[in-house]
Amino acid sequence: MKKPLFLASLLALCLPLAASAQEAAPKVEIFGGYSYLRADIIDGVNAHGFNTSLAGNITKHIGIVGEFSRFDTSTSIPTQVLGLSITVNSNVLTYLFGPRIVLHRGKAEPFVHTLFGGACENEKVQDRPAAPVMDNAFAFALGGGLDVKAHDNFAIRVAQIDYLGDNLGDQTGNNFRYSAGIVIRFGKMYSNLSLWSSISGVKPRTHTCQLFRNQAKEVIYVISAKSPWVTLLYRHFQ
């Protein structure tokens, strides 16, 4: 009599902890979309472009990201000659790499990342035969965002907001970047259930019980032949 009561109590205590095991994380995520840059030069320059990234998840919540973005802009700069101005066309490329932490739970999946790499800027005066001026410098991005999962293989990145720093022109740039687009997801990380089954070869058992009033639970568990302990893998709300 004591043993069934003990097992039932153990299941009740473990249910909240087991809920997170239902959400599977994708192995690979590819993002692409629009990006806006507020560059910290002159009085501030607005640039538009795109941002794309490839992320591989090491664990359910930790991954590595490689990112590439490009921005184009035209800036009118006044001169001291008869009040005339010149137009400078420029594009900035960033290539960054670093770790990411994401909460794969539910439809809304927030994430944060720290990325390091480089930036390349090309500038050319419009209607002038001079060759473009190129500059390469260290760059980094600190930020995060929110993905809304529409399907196991598809999500919408509602927002990715970054502080983008660089040393272009031998000056410290403090830039703001906003990106949004779509995320394509491939593969799934092993859940506790599939991992246990593949390692142990023990087939899980399913049992439906009512531990709380008006709340039916489907509990999937494994009972070892060598031990009386119950290994609770995850639950499913009916």
At 190 the three-state DSSP class reads coil
**What per-residue confidence (pLDDT) applies to 32?**
97
Distances, alpha carbon 84 to alpha carbons 108, 157, 185, 223, in Å? 52, 43, 52, 83
> Which phi and psi (to 5°) does residue 225 adopt?
-70, -20
**Confidence at residue 29, expressed as pLDDT on a 0 to 100 scale:** 97
Q: What is the pLDDT along the chain (238 residues), one digit of tens a residue?
A: 444 444 444 444 444 434 444 467 899 999 999 999 998 876 778 999 999 999 999 998 999 999 999 999 887 776 666 667 777 888 999 999 999 999 988 899 999 999 999 999 988 887 666 667 889 999 999 999 999 999 889 999 999 999 999 988 888 889 999 999 999 999 886 544 444 454 455 555 554 544 444 444 444 444 444 444 444 444 433 3
Does the predicted model carry a pTM greater than 0.85? no
- For the four alpha carbons of 108, 104, 49 and 133, in that order, the dihedral sign comes to positive
| DSSP-derived secondary structure for 43-91 | T-EEEEEEEEEEEEESSSSEEEEEEEEEEEEEEEEE-SSTT-EEEEEEE
Q: Are 140 and 116 in contact (CB under 8 A)?
A: yes
| List of domains in the chain | 2-22+191-237 (no CATH), 28-186 (2.40.160.20)
